[in-house]
Structure 1
Amino acid sequence: MVLTRRAYKSITRWLPNEILSEVVQWVTPPDLVALCQTSHLMKGIATPLLYRAVSLSKISGMKRFITTMERHANDPVSKAEHVRQFCIHQFAPNIPENILQKITLVLSYFSRLTSLQLFSLNNHFPELLRTAHFPSLTDFRCHVLPRLSSSLSSFLNRHQTITDLYLCRIFDDAMPTLDHIHLPNLHTISMPGSFIPCLVHDDTNVVIMCIFWFPDQLDNVEIALPALCRLSSADKHALDAHCDRSHEPWFIGLAAKNMPDVCVLTCHKLGNLAGRVTPNQVV
């Protein structure tokens, strides 16, 4: 349906901005760009939605994004204030050092960021991890590298607002070690089992746990399961375990002994085939 100029004016004149905002939330990014060019009213409504979630995976897109952020840095309401979610995609190519530095600088403008995802296998952000602080950050996800583990621990301890934490190991690297991490507001964790003892358990209330035990860290299972139990003060919680031996009776027995309040236990192999649990293996 194509609106006439008269009908368009009547809609923007009589519909409250709150309703227009709800409608615009269903618009695709290219159409948001088009809406920004129709009127000051629609630009004001569409711009925050256009920049709310940013995902970068190509050098060309990173350059355009950096240029836009820098150009509007001194606006009364800068574009950076609209960004709530920022992601560097894991398939991003090797990013030139000057682009990495500019991305780190631009990120410092995101005062209202709630979700940060650094899933690039080829690029690392040591300066960001050492210095950045996002007061409203609740969701953090990244690949963990041995040479950045200390900076990562420091970054996490500066962001005690985090409720959802996802740490991923890069398989070709040795298993990193982390310093003690205190995140009292944690609700959901997903990480290798060797990281669990690093989490300080005072006043935590983790409810959802997705843990990966790799072949070189199976000895860690008996240490990590009691630590997982201490991370939760809730009556019930769920454990999603990924381990090549998670379907065996010894693992089920350890989980039942050390985590008696688990209400949902899901076991997977690390490969594509899920481990089967027979009735006589359930404790």
Structure 2
Amino acid sequence: MAVLTRSRAAAEGARKSILRFPNEILSMVLEYLSTSELRGLCRTSKRLRSIATPFLYRNIHFRSAGQTVLFIRTTQSQPSESSESLLLHVQEFVVANDKALVGVTSQIIDDLNSVVIKMTKLKHLLLSSKAFIEFTDLLHDSNFEQLQTFRYVLGPAESSTDPEEFLKFLARHRTTLTTLCIDCEEPITFAQSIDLPLLHTYDGPSWALKSLKKSVGSLRSVVLRWQEPDIDYRSPLKQLSKAHSLQTLEIAIVDVSPGRLREPTLLAAVAQYVPHIKTLRFSRPALYGFAFDDLMPMRQHLGRFTALSGLRFAIFRRESVSALNDDLPVLDAWLRVCGTLCMVHLDGMDWRLVDGAWIPSG
């Protein structure tokens, strides 16, 4: 009993010692806690709960419809002033996947729109669900003075009013947006160009890049996604020739018929229009596109790059089971024409140049 008593006393003393610190110091400490740790801290005392609760609302991620419904109920169960005060602490709001909204009622969607609009301190807004839930009210009525990142899924043009509201939303946030991500299954013709002077990161369909004419010059990182029926690869890459600060480019072949967009062809176009990039990545979900025998001839294109240090080919087809040593002649040939190359990813294997020799890892 004596041991238990001392343990309780020690725990009580530790709790009291923490509470001796002013709220400002405690807030600095709480910055480093995980969500589960913050929840545990909320159960220790009223004071710590009042300090920790805003941190719990700082990043909100929905991965299931249950989470969405529970969040709406939680905000509605609190007094209006208290709820609005907590929503002001939200800096990141993410609908992580389709499951977060599929099956929820239209009333929940309406409530979600009205709640997010009150998160006026938002810095990152990522609406990633492809259930084609229209956030028209959110796009129309919101104004986030600190918004830096925006991701949105545009529905089919013929059944959606989103494109027009989408452009208006971007216009209202043109002075703060630095990252724009667009998901859309079909090409849409925007009524006007998109002017985002601070934009440095773009992730979206290749066809939408033509609407970013005024913003291309500041881009530093780009992910271009191709899918049927859009297979025009030259126009977007030619437009990127104006992006003099571009350092990283990823070309993602999302859904294109076999043989229509091949990595050797795309590599040649990238070398022609943006030879100054430092990192180039290719990705595709299907096991087709080009063969192992296409790697060696690529050296003629790699010789045109001036600063390329990292190159990634996610998948390709080998004609036969190949040993790692089969890659070395290819890598050495590439290095002779592109002396800046030092990191290469081939068929699931990472290669690094160390003291003039290629070393495999991974």
Instruction: Give me the TM-score of the superposition, normalised by structure 1.
Output: 0.85
Pair 1:141 & 2:176 matched: no
Q: Counterparts in 2 of 1:6-25, with a 5 A limit?
A: 6-13=13-20, 15=21, 17=23, 19-25=25-31
Equivalent residue number for residue 65 of structure 1: 71
Q: 1:163 pairs with 164, 167, 178, which one?
A: 178
Q: Counterparts in 2 of 1:51-62, with a 5 A limit?
A: 51-62=57-68
Equivalent residue number for residue 50 of structure 1: 56
Distance 1:27 1:73, change over 3 A: same
Secondary structure of 2:145's aligned partner: coil
Equivalent residue number for residue 279 of structure 1: 296
Displacement after TM superposition at 1:39 (Å): 2.8
Secondary structure of 1:216's aligned partner: coil
Instruction: Give me the TM-score of the superposition, normalised by structure 2.
Output: 0.68
Displacement after TM superposition at 1:78 (Å): 0.7
Distance 1:212 1:60, change over 3 A: closer
Q: 1:193 pairs with 193, 206, 220, which one?
A: 206
Displacement after TM superposition at 1:164 (Å): 1.3
What is the letter of the counterpart of residue 251 of structure 2?
A
Contact 1:112-1:135 at 8 Å conserved across structures: yes
The number of equivalent residue pairs is 275
Equivalent residue number for residue 167 of structure 2: 153
Equivalent residue number for residue 355 of structure 2: none
CA distance in 1: counterparts of 2:218 and 2:140, whole angstroms: 27
Contact 1:268-1:274 at 8 Å conserved across structures: no
Distance 1:274 1:158, change over 3 A: farther
Distance 1:133 1:258, change over 3 A: same
Displacement after TM superposition at 1:100 (Å): 0.9
Pair 1:98 & 2:107 matched: yes
CA distance in 2: counterparts of 1:19 and 1:169, whole angstroms: 45
Contact 1:81-1:110 at 8 Å conserved across structures: yes
Q: Counterparts in 2 of 1:95-244, with a 5 A limit?
A: 95-122=104-131, 123-145=133-155, 146=157, 147=160, 148-160=162-174, 161-170=176-185, 174-179=186-191, 180-202=193-215, 204-218=217-231, 220-230=232-242, 232-234=243-245, 236-243=246-253
Secondary structure of 2:177's aligned partner: coil
CA distance in 1: counterparts of 2:287 and 2:124, whole angstroms: 29
Pair 1:268 & 2:283 matched: yes
Contact 1:87-1:116 at 8 Å conserved across structures: yes
Contact 1:239-1:266 at 8 Å conserved across structures: yes
List runs of 5+ in structure 2 lacking aligned partners. Answer: 1-6, 302-362
CA distance in 1: counterparts of 2:14 and 2:284, whole angstroms: 59
Displacement after TM superposition at 1:240 (Å): 0.8
Displacement after TM superposition at 1:106 (Å): 0.8
Distance 1:240 1:134, change over 3 A: same
Displacement after TM superposition at 1:127 (Å): 1.6
% identical equivalent positions:
25
CA RMSD of aligned residues (A): 2.6
Distance 1:208 1:274, change over 3 A: farther
CA distance in 2: counterparts of 1:202 and 1:120, whole angstroms: 26
What is the letter of the counterpart of residue 296 of structure 2?
P
Distance 1:209 1:126, change over 3 A: same
Equivalent residue number for residue 74 of structure 1: 81
